[in-house]
């Protein structure tokens, strides 16, 4: 991609993989929109990035990706400032130990990790298509995971079964892959592509709410099989910027290689899309 004045919006950029994605994109010469819940933390990251690249154009914009209203406000702000987006990196995510819900009654892990990606991609589609008119392409990259399990489409929110944090999280990551394929079908011919990726096992604060024993197991697994945060961010940055994947859409990638997605099933993907539309309609 042409780096001159290209703008990428990254969600969850204040820590972990999101912060490293922002750092690598900044080093590559991209302008950034850091979309985060904690404005002060976002400003600190922006200041660090400007030290790395003096004169870098970096905006910090507040958004809670579990809130449809917050996502709409972000979209309105980007339109007011007439900011075209060359790429959107959906990275913000969470892992909860206990079942909690948004004010509209959507289970929080699903609202953040799945509906957040879904709604933000739709809300910012016009900003991405504006970039297509300028440069001929735009991209969406969804940070998913290999730690994923088949979602229960009859009980996505754990209303009829006991809530288990790791199951809610792994289900959400499968949903990210499925919705990527469903969105790719809807974006065909628009110039906007969408792909998902797995960063691998990274030692971040994502699992801070888990039980001590679980955190210990994650740390041990990370010691033997984990990747650095730089390695984890690499494929997301590559999908955002590389000419190698120009025009490719609907894929799932790990270590810069497209891999077969175990959850690829068009009828189930379309069912999930419909369920997300229904849940999104709960918002005022």
| Tens digits of residue pLDDT in 116-133 | 999 999 999 999 999 999
At residue 160, the pLDDT reads 97
Read off the tokens for 42.
């976002």
Q: What are the domain boundaries of the chain?
A: 7-280
In sequence order, the 6+-apart residues with CB closer than 8 A to the CB of 126 are 79
125-134, 181-190, 224-233: least confident range: 224-233
E strand intervals along the chain: 7-11, 31-36, 58-62, 87-90, 138-143, 192-198, 252-254, 257-258
Tell me which DSSP letter residue 113 carries: I
Residue 263 has pLDDT above 50, yes or no: yes
Give the phi and the psi of residue 8 in degrees, each rounded to 5.
-125, 130
At residue 193, the pLDDT reads 98
In sequence order, the 6+-apart residues with CB closer than 8 A to the CB of 58 are 26, 31, 32, 33, 34, 46, 49, 50
pTM for the predicted model, two decimal places:
0.91
Residue at token pair 């290689």: 257
**CATH number of the 7-280 domain:** 3.40.50.720
């Amino acid at each position: 991609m042409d780096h001159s004045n290209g703008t990428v919006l990254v969600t969850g950029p204040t820590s972990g993989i999101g912060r490293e994605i922002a750092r690598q994109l900044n080093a590559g010469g991209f302008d950034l929109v850091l979309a985060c819940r904690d404005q002060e933390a976002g400003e600190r990251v922006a200041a660090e990035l400007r030290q790395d690249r003096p004169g870098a154009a970096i905006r910090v914009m507040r958004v809670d990706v579990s809130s449809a209203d917050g996502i709409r406000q972000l979209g309105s702000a980007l339109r007011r400032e007439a900011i075209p987006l060359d790429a959107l990196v959906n990275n913000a995510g969470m892992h909860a130990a206990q079942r909690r819900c948004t004010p509209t009654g959507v289970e929080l892990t699903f609202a953040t990790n799945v509906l957040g990606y879904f709604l933000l991609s739709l809300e910012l589609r016009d900003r991405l298509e504006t970039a297509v008119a300028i440069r001929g392409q735009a991209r969406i990259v969804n940070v998913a995971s290999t730690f994923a399990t088949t979602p229960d489409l009859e009980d996505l929110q754990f209303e009829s079964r006991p809530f288990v944090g790791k199951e809610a999280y792994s289900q959400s990551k499968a949903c990210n892959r499925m919705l990527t394929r469903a969105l790719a079908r809807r974006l065909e011919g628009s110039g906007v592509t969408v792909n998902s990726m797995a960063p691998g096992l990274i030692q971040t604060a994502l699992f801070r709410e888990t039980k001590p024993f679980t955190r210990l197991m994650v740390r041990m697994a990370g010691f033997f099989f984990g990747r650095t945060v730089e390695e984890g961010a690499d494929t997301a940055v590559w999908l955002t910027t590389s000419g190698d994947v120009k025009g490719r859409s609907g894929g799932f990638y790990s270590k810069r290689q497209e891999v077969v997605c175990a959850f690829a099933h068009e009828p189930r993907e379309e069912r999930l899309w419909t369920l997300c539309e229904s849940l999104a309609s709960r918002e005022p």
